[in-house]
Amino acid sequence: MSLKKVSLFYLGIGLLSGLIILNSYFLYLNPSNPILTAKRKMASLSKGEQYIGRLQLWQIYAQAGDWAGAAKLEPQLDLSDYSYYKDSHQPEIVKKNLNQLMTKPNKTPDDWIQLSQYYLLIGNTTKARDALTQAQKLDPVRTDLESLIQLFPLQP
């Protein structure tokens, strides 16, 4: 074998090794990508790591609003690990809870605060601020309500 062929062979091996190392970094060692981190955990030999990976991936889907993707993982998860977040963030459930709370007579300040949270989740900041104002009218002594109201921009 000539020296030129051997040199090309080792150059090819070196380039291939470099690509494998670079690929490994982006796929396995780079912690900045939460999806890859979750999927890496799902591929672990540890059942606990696999579960945490599935739960993290569920959370990523839910936070992105991909409830269909999150629903595919739910049969493999414990209901108590995701039900609170789902019940308080999934748009269909939030709207149902909002309607139930709106029909409740004699709302307490805490009810109005909950309404404000629901309005924020569906993107209605005006009604969210109004709900906090109602809570403040019912309980003017609570200082946390004034602080929450100040977080909203002034309405024209």
Which tens digits make up the pLDDT trace of 112-138?
A: 999 999 998 888 888 998 999 999 999
* Structure-token pair, residue 104: 């409740």
Q: List all residues 6 or more positions away from 6 whose beta carbon is below 8 Å from its beta carbon.
A: none
Distance of alpha carbon 58 from its chain centroid, rounded? 8
pLDDT at position 154 is 58
pLDDT digits (tens, 9 = 90+) for 76-119: 999 999 999 998 889 889 999 999 999 999 999 999 999 999 99
pLDDT at position 156 is 47
- Please report which confidence band the pLDDT of residue 30 belongs to, taking 50, 70 and 90 as the band edges: low
**Residue pointed to by tokens 């090794």:** 17
DSSP 153: P
- Which of 100, 104, 102, 103 minimizes the C-alpha distance to 87? 100
